[in-house]
Chain A
Amino acid sequence: MTITVLTIDDSRTMRDMLMMALTEAGFQVTQAEDGQHGLEVLALETPRVIVTDINMPRLDGFGFIEAVRREERYRSVPILVLTTESDDDKKMRARKAGATGWIIKPFDPVKLVAAIRRVAA
């Protein structure tokens, strides 16, 4: 079955890149522009995996993950954090919020695709 992925990033460049890399890998991709938008999209369809940025307007990645994890029906949706933040504090915060895994930008599409397949067990 096709793996559906929701990507959340406020940068059009990143969204385009993700779209290209993930579509190429055979995933079905839905996009959102920030955490708030991500939640709106999530209300319509539940993806198999979510890939999210951290620094975003309106609702950042931490807030998004917390909001998703608060809801029982989304607790099993793996969330991968894709961010330039490499420092451990941020990583810990993302984990605490409920992130499944993280990938440091600039992302390597091979790694990302592998990670998605891994969590989309």
Chain B
Amino acid sequence: MDDFIAERRRQIAFDMLQHANLVFQCVLVATIVAIALAVLINRFKVLEPVANAVSAVGLTLPSFALVGLLLPLSGLGTTTAFLCVVFYAVLPVLRNAVVGLAGVDQTLLESARGMGMGPVGVLLKVQIPLAWPVILAGVRTSMQMSMGIAAIAAYVLGPGLGSYIWTGLVQTGGANALNYAVVGTVGIVIVALVADLLLLALGRLTISKGVRVA
């Protein structure tokens, strides 16, 4: 095991970074998309059941199946992996964002309007900041989930640590099969923990002291 890692140190470090990079980018895009959708849903309440149905069905869809479905459309490579991860990453953020935005006290919104804030101002200065702790909790869930999904997306030659796990599976019984699988899995866990810590730090920085819990 030690030799296995020592020989591939640079490669493993690179793949961990790639994995993290893919997930960060996906979650970032997913967060923006999810908040935008949640704002729409918040404005047009009729969309809420639709959104709920889509996220429920979306989460039952096996990620491996989605990879298969996307393959003919976007081919082998990073694009397919990216789309697949984004799709799943949107769901938890969307759910929390819808709940978070709806949970903002209506009288606060009306008082903001009453003071002459425009609709965009109310959204950016009042509604989203107040919903932010809930949204950020969704982002954390999404980040954890995406770590695993990114590994599966490596099946279509996506970047990151997933390829180690696949190699391990393909070479079952081979000399390094277990090493590949372990390095892939542990690597992902480490990346995930670091990412979660970073998100916690982000929460410290971006959640107002006035609404932070403890």
- Do they bind each other? no
Q: Which residues of A contact B (CB under 8 A)?
A: none
